[in-house]
Amino acid sequence: MGIKFDENCSNQNEGMVNPGESDKTSNPPEEDEIILKSGGDGFKISAPGQTGKIVKFTERALGKYQLEKFYKGLEQLGITCSETQMGQFLTFYEMLIEKNKVMNLTSITEWEDAVEKHFLDSLSLIKCMDLNKKIRVLDLGTGAGFPGIPLKIVFPELELVLVDSLNKRILFIKDVLEELQLDGITAVHGRAEDLAVKKEYREKFGLCVSRAVANLSALAEYCLPFVKIGGNFISYKSGEIEEEAAQAKKAISVLGGTVSKIEKFTLPGTDVSRAFIQIEKKKKTPKGYPRKAGTPSKHPIQ
């Protein structure tokens, strides 16, 4: 995929074509070519078959970005990203890095690292199930909005609820959702132990996802109460997942689920090994689960 700047753009990334050295005739872009055009307060991204759209990120920041790796990673996942969606990703990244200066949102701050470990990692969920349809999804322990916001950008039919126990993160997420003008997605401050007993949340979701770093037994206790019968809980994992899944088998069964799939993969364009553990909800979660705050992590179901 080629990436070019027009004559009005002064920022040149290594490996990008300098328009001053190229043919200045007005030729249409090739199929795999993206042209970034100056747009006054931002930049226009023009791709084949699409019109330019102003996206809110600065010329200074644009000079850092290598979009080719992101587009190739998306292609490997079978995802097509429009100009509007790419603009949303860039704006989200800019907001994340800016806010990270005053509060701890992420240790992953470089653009290429964020592409791999935040954006592509979040979107890899498509390896596990069809996301191009309307599903009510809960993202539990969303942190700075992962995987929920990337999923919503690419799969707009999803109806998402993002939950985190730290209100400062939720306030940041709400700012991002407003800036990106995303509909059908809300951010809720609360703990799983408290929200899962509420009628509007308990067993109301077709899918619950979590990238939280926690024991699978504890995660299942936090997440399965939100999932309706026939729905799924999918945990983003790495490491010795077969052993972890085996150790959590009893807890998952008690909570009404069963492991239906373990999907191992490598993040696109990297050698980073990742996996999904998919748990199908077979029966209602008994009352009393999840247990009071802290108990699932300290004393997992054995």
Q: State yes or no: pLDDT of 40 exceeds 50.
A: no
pLDDT on residue 6: 37
The answer to the question of residue 53 being in a domain is: no
pLDDT on residue 199: 97
Give first-to-last CA distance, the chain, whole Å: 51
Query: What CATH number is given to the structural domain containing 278?
Result: 3.40.50.150
User: Residue 286: helix, strand or coil by DSSP?
Assistant: coil
The answer to the question of residue 211 being in a domain is: yes
Q: How many helices (H) and strands (E) does the chain have?
A: 12, 11
Q: State yes or no: pLDDT of 66 exceeds 90.
A: no
Q: State yes or no: pLDDT of 276 exceeds 80.
A: yes
For residues 230 and 203, give the distance between their C-alpha atoms in angstroms, rounded to a whole number: 10
The answer to the question of residue 140 being in a domain is: yes
Which residues have a Cβ under 8 Å from the Cβ of 170 and sit 6 or more positions away?
Answer: 162, 164, 187, 188, 189
Band (pLDDT 50/70/90 cuts) for residue 7 is: very low
The answer to the question of residue 159 being in a domain is: yes
pLDDT in tens, 287-299: 999 999 889 989 9
The neighbouring-strand residues paired with 137 are 160, 207
Mean pLDDT of the 46-54 span:
40
144 token code pair: 């700075």
Q: What angle do CA 296, 301, 302 make, to 5 degrees?
A: 145
In contact, 108 and 87? CB cutoff 8 Å: no
Band (pLDDT 50/70/90 cuts) for residue 63 is: low
The answer to the question of residue 28 being in a domain is: no
Q: State yes or no: pLDDT of 29 exceeds 70.
A: no
pLDDT in tens, 87-139: 999 999 999 999 999 999 999 999 999 999 999 999 999 999 999 999 999 99
Q: State yes or no: pLDDT of 84 exceeds 60.
A: yes
Domain count, the chain: 1
The neighbouring-strand residues paired with 289 are none
The overall average pLDDT reported for the chain is: 84
Q: State yes or no: pLDDT of 1 exceeds 90.
A: no
For residues 205 and 202, give the distance between their C-alpha atoms in angstroms, rounded to a whole number: 8
In contact, 53 and 24? CB cutoff 8 Å: no
Which residues have a Cβ under 8 Å from the Cβ of 244 and sit 6 or more positions away?
Answer: 215, 216, 237, 277
The answer to the question of residue 4 being in a domain is: no
CB atoms within 10 A of CB 299: 11
The fraction of the chain above a pLDDT of 90, given in percent, is 72
Q: State yes or no: pLDDT of 236 exceeds 50.
A: yes
Q: State yes or no: pLDDT of 155 exceeds 50.
A: yes
Q: Cα dist. 263→48, 75, 193, 241 in Å?
A: 34, 19, 28, 10
Residue 213: which domain range?
A: 113-298
Burial of residue 30, with CB atoms counted within 10 A of its CB: 0-12 exposed, 13-18 middle, 19 or more buried: exposed
The fraction of the chain above a pLDDT of 70, given in percent, is 79
Q: Cα dist. 289→87, 257, 284 in Å?
A: 41, 13, 11
Give whichever of 9-13, 21-25, 46-50, 175-179 has the largest mean pLDDT: 175-179
The answer to the question of residue 52 being in a domain is: no
pLDDT on residue 58: 43
In contact, 19 and 4? CB cutoff 8 Å: yes
Mean pLDDT of the 45-55 span:
40
Residue 263 or 22, more confident: 263
The answer to the question of residue 101 being in a domain is: no
pLDDT on residue 64: 59
Strands (E), 66-204: 136-140, 159-164, 185-189
For residues 102 and 164, give the distance between their C-alpha atoms in angstroms, rounded to a whole number: 19
